């Protein structure tokens, strides 16, 4: 198994790359339903509906009008997450995200940070990088 670094990864909104992303998280979950019949001695389960959420952590860049500035609370957008490098064989993840929150923090010893939280709406598609 090859270990990947995130140094060449990108987050895109359409064809625009979101500027100054330091890290990202994408979580996928699935509901579980019990399926055992009456009288069973062990539980059996099946996967049901899928869900997803995540966040982007960026150094704030107000000039990134097509990227960071477009990710306002309540916005719905298609995100393409490229985990490694665009030359990689690693599939990209493409999904519709609803932005649920934007938090900006600053201190006198670091850049102003922007954290963007989202919920996935629909499937997370794993496709060949384009």
- Locate the DSSP E strands across the chain: 10-13, 16-17, 21-34, 45-59, 76-82, 92-107, 110-127
Domain CATH for 69: 2.30.110
- C-alpha distance from residue 80 to each of 22, 43, 64, 98, 111 (Å): 16, 38, 17, 13, 25
Does 5 fall in a domain?
A: no
Does 17 fall in a domain?
A: yes
Q: What is the model's pLDDT at position 90?
A: 76
Does 83 fall in a domain?
A: yes
Does 3 fall in a domain?
A: no
Residue 72: strand, helix, or coil: coil
**Domain span holding position 121:** 10-127
How many domains, the chain?
1
Q: What is the model's pLDDT at position 84?
A: 77
Q: What is the model's pLDDT at position 59?
A: 95
**pLDDT mean values, one per 10 residues, the chain (130 residues):** 67 93 94 95 96 96 94 96 75 95 94 96 89
Task: Provide the 8-state DSSP code for 73.
Answer: T
Two structure tokens written together for 53: 């959420």
Q: What is the pTM of this model?
A: 0.86
Q: What is the model's pLDDT at position 128?
A: 83
């Amino acid at each position: 198994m090859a270990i990947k670094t995130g140094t060449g990864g990108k987050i895109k909104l359409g064809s625009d790359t979101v500027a100054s992303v330091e890290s990202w998280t994408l979580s996928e979950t699935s509901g579980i339903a019990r399926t055992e019949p009456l009288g069973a001695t062990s539980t059996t389960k099946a996967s049901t509906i899928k869900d997803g959420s995540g966040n982007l952590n960026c150094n704030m860049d107000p000039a990134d009008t097509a990227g960071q500035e477009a990710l306002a609370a309540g916005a719905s957008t298609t995100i393409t997450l490229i985990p490694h490098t665009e030359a990689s064989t690693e599939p990209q993840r493409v999904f519709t995200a609803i932005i649920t929150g934007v938090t900006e923090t600053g201190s006198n010893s670091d850049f102003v940070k922007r954290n963007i939280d989202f919920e996935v709406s629909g499937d997370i598609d794993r496709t060949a990088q384009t």
